[in-house]
Structure 1
């Protein structure tokens, strides 16, 4: 089976998390800004799309070369054996981006790459008329950075955070792959109690339940490469069936999601139902300040409203203060709180064990980590 150079793209700050996921699945990785490189065959392309919880996309590296002129870009692109990837009727849109490069006009770069591929394909397939482009979609990207060109073929389609279960969401939803990354960063394991005190549409508890039951995050969705002639649905269906058989249906989990807004709790329950985990998550309407527990060694992960988005700053900082008062006595619990308010510790009332810079979309946030001291049972 042919081996490809592959890239798993990642949100800024999560590259190492994606790299660790790939390592745990047995791949050798090279972690770079916004991506992780690895090698794999057609089966690996489907498996990583199906199973990676924290990546955005899986891309095939078609070529890498230097280009400072449009002529160089055209000729180097045309030299590629595109017929190994694209059938005659392929629909191949070309996206682009450019950083610190001589060729900085992105639409022109896209047009040149498109023209080069059309020229090559017309020669190979002996076409004098336009290519039909009526078949499956093969999304191509030309990315330039310091005059280095990276041509990739996207195997995913819609980003991997789109699991398919979240039909309704709140005003400031956390992407599903970001939620999974927070769970990994929080070192939550299925034998520990998990609480999200401001769960909104339920993304964090649902992702915890998917991890706990070993449910592949891509099980309910399809990938653009399944329509490709050289990958196809039979192999995808086989791997999907194997993923279904790997689900741990008899596992016992302690996962709770609370929110002050009863309407959001109903949405969270519906989303959990769609994800197939409604029976193992305890959703309840409750304010963060009213949380009490006698359990030990649990993990709290929270994405409370940031001052600039859902509420005014004063009420949000009052929430941080309440959290500090409620969670302070829970010394065996670990708490991980994501916020863009860099003064969070001041209102929470305690300095974090560690802070980690992450990006929730384009918004810079910090994950404030308070490590618990486990009590031996």
Structure 2
């Protein structure tokens, strides 16, 4: 939620059209290669799903018949393990377990007829995850092509108590005007996620380069489709692009985690990590970008510490007027503590926490 426009821009940059945005989702048309390319390249999307069909359903019979009418046999092989998940909101069919069960029965019935199977399906093959989502009696059926959520890049072996999702970290970077020619600092680096995502963006490395996807095992997707997508990702990566990225944190354990994660991502030599208090930050470049997700002061006793941290940051950055500063926090009095009103604010959700992304544009 809140990142639809960024995902739309990413989809557009991959060359796809017929793009529509809705709450929490972006819909577009692509060929088979699009399944592989979008899974590899989308930095701010959670999943890539194949839209099987949409229809209205006011009864379980409507749900069964509408589901069975869809071309499941074109995508799902006879030995597939079919896992159905669901959600329902403001609909007559409100029992999610019942809806899941009926969708599963309808898909199985379709496959039995199509493949001429009299008994039960073996379901000992690759997993196909189907989602039934019902909103105001409208059913949307999809197959998940990603498997594990796309925020799971594969590099974060270590994380702290409140880790920032990789997809949101990438969004925080993409919402700035940063280019790899400029310095980049995250003074609340935690496990290093924002700095690592910035490095991946800076060198144009596909975020999915270090993981696997469910659709790699789909019968309908030839191995050549994935091979071409991986080859394209390798060709487009700019490993020679120099970067000036610093991640700092007051906690030495966080710095060790961040270093380990950067090494896992293959970026160990490209990012500097230092244990440092915010008040000791002294950027060496005249122009740069600071992006951070500081503590929000939600735990008892943290409020005074958090407010002081915000004040320290404001005092430091006052001496760097050409730097652009981007801070995401749920603390309502951030601007007062920081000492300046944001140029622009954007509502973002960090998990289920509603936050403001405070944007301070540097002087030209």
Shared fold by TM > 0.5? Answer: yes
Unpaired runs of 5+ in structure 1?
Answer: 1-11
Matched, 1:106 2:96: yes
Match of 2:226 in 1: 236
Match of 1:224 in 2: 214
User: For 1:311 and 1:242, how far apart are their aligned partners in 2?
Assistant: 50
How far did residue 233 of structure 1 move?
A: 3.7
How far did residue 236 of structure 1 move?
A: 1.4
Aligned with residue 6 of structure 2, among 3, 11, 17: 17
How many residues get paired?
363
Matched, 1:208 2:198: yes
Specify the SS of the correspondent of 1:93. strand
Match of 1:117 in 2: 107
| Correspondence 1:8-47 to 2 at 5 A | 12-28=1-17, 29-47=19-37
Matched, 1:279 2:269: yes
How far did residue 294 of structure 1 move?
A: 4.0
Is the CA contact 1:305–1:311 (under 8 Å) kept in the aligned structure 2? no
Question: How big is the alpha-carbon RMSD for the aligned residues of Structure 1 and Structure 2?
Answer: 1.3
Matched, 1:168 2:158: yes
Matched, 1:95 2:95: no
How far did residue 336 of structure 1 move?
A: 0.5
User: For 1:25 and 1:240, how far apart are their aligned partners in 2?
Assistant: 14
User: For 1:311 and 1:279, how far apart are their aligned partners in 2?
Assistant: 38
Aligned with residue 308 of structure 2, among 298, 303, 318: 318
Matched, 1:153 2:143: yes
- Kindly provide the CA deviation profile for residues 329-367 of structure 1, in whole angstroms up to 9, marking residues without a partner as x: 211111000111121111111111111111111111110
User: For 1:233 and 1:84, how far apart are their aligned partners in 2?
Assistant: 17
- Choose 229-238 or 172-181, whichever is displaced more: 229-238
Stretches of 4+ moved more than 4 A in 1?
none
Unpaired runs of 5+ in structure 2?
Answer: none
Specify the SS of the correspondent of 2:321. coil
- Kindly provide the CA deviation profile for residues 6-46 of structure 1, in whole angstroms up to 9, marking residues without a partner as x: xxxxxx11111111111122222211110011100111110
Matched, 1:328 2:290: no
Normalised to the residue count of structure 1, the TM-score between the two structures is 0.94
Specify the SS of the correspondent of 1:190. coil
Match of 1:70 in 2: 60
Matched, 1:299 2:289: yes
User: For 1:246 and 1:21, how far apart are their aligned partners in 2?
Assistant: 15
Match of 1:341 in 2: 331
Specify the SS of the correspondent of 1:57. coil
User: For 2:287 and 2:66, how far apart are their aligned partners in 1?
Assistant: 57
User: For 1:294 and 1:277, how far apart are their aligned partners in 2?
Assistant: 22
Is the CA contact 2:32–2:225 (under 8 Å) kept in the aligned structure 1? no
